[in-house]
Amino acid sequence: MRAMRGKTLIVTGASSGIGEELAVVLAARGANVVLAARNAEALERVKARCTQAGGAALAVPTDVGDPEACRVLVERAVEAFGGVDVLVNNAGVTMHSRLEDVKDLGLFERLMRINYLGAVYCTYHALPHVKARKGLIVAVSSLTGKTGVPTRTGYAASKHAMQGFFDSLRIELLGTGTDVLVVSPGFVATHIRDAALGPDGTPVRESRRDESQRTMDVGTCVAIILRAMERREREVVMTASAKVAQVLKLVMPGLVDRLAARAVREKD
């Protein structure tokens, strides 16, 4: 718990799900949390939870797809708390559509702008401050950043881009005392799939899978992330089956493709 006390952390996508619960737990551990998301009303609700938990919190409505908004986010954090120790790139949106069914190609640009470029913009502006404190950059990616998944082509592409970006950045930062952690959860009990973009680029408003089956609860996911942050790990693949799949992909890639296809058929 002492590892986070007095530290300043920016958490994007903080209005719900993993971002919200992570921010509240960090606040309970004595951290200063800067909350970023587009929904200002939801951010105020999360800010109240953080304050009640015992931490200092600042809500900064932010569209991470706008590089200027990301600059302002970091600027507000520095003004309020004097610097930045940790940036958690958690904001994201997913999709649900086979490529041949897509009606609006703009959904691919939106996925890349929020999931990938949003993380790039926030990291670019926060990096000088994080380096000054020998801090940590966290990227909340996905298992789809490791293995392709049908009906998630654009989402998987954006997460693969995140993986490549942060792996490269980690190498650039060798010897600086600043670390990079990439987190790859599987299915977590959040509302991200309710807001998945459908073939026409609008949210489907209802998850296409049975959320009661093989889904990690948010508390467990956040606990894994926090442990990895405190240990300054380089990467976390959250499920045992996904770890096995990473090995199988090297030696039996066709099998992994068939397993991914079957898993989606079972869940959709």
Residue 144 belongs to a domain with what CATH number? 3.40.50.720
Q: Which residues contact 140 (CB under 8 A, 6 or more apart)?
A: 13, 18, 88, 89, 90, 92, 183, 185, 225
Instruction: Give one word for 105, left, alpha or beta, with left for phi > 0 and alpha for psi -120 to 50.
Output: alpha
Work out the mean pLDDT of the chain and round it to a whole number: 88
- 265 occurs within a structural domain: no
Note whether residue 263 is domain-resident.
no
Q: Is 121 a catalytic residue?
A: no
In a domain, 163, yes or no: yes
Q: What pLDDT score does 156 carry?
A: 93
Residue 160: phi and psi, rounded to 5, are -60, -40
User: What are the structure tokens assigned to 227, written together?
Assistant: 């442990």
pLDDT above 70 coverage of the chain, percent: 82
- pLDDT exceeds 50 at position 268: no
Tens digits of residue pLDDT in 237-260: 886 555 555 655 555 566 656 666
- pLDDT score of 180 more than 80: yes
Q: Do 33 and 22 meet the contact criterion of CB atoms below 8 Å apart?
A: no
> Which is higher by pLDDT, 260 or 223?
223
Q: Is residue 150 part of a domain?
A: yes
Number of domains in the chain: 1
Give the range among 60-69, 158-167, 232-241 with minimum mean pLDDT. 232-241
Range of the domain at 21: 8-240
- pLDDT value at residue 255: 60
> Is residue 211's pLDDT more than 50?
no
Which pLDDT score, from 0 to 100, does residue 3 have?
82
Catalytic residue among 116, 121, 124, 155: 155
Averaged over 120-137, what is the pLDDT? 98
Instruction: Report yes or no on 246 lying in a domain.
Output: no
- Answer yes or no: is 261 within a domain: no
Residue 251 lies in a domain: no
Paired tokens of 225: 């992330």
pLDDT band at 227 (very low <50, low <70, confident <90, very high): very high
Residue 257, in any domain of the structure: no
CA 148 from centre of chain:
18
With 70 as the cut, is the pLDDT of residue 228 above it?
yes
pLDDT at residue 152 tops 80: yes
- Quote the pLDDT of residue 233: 96
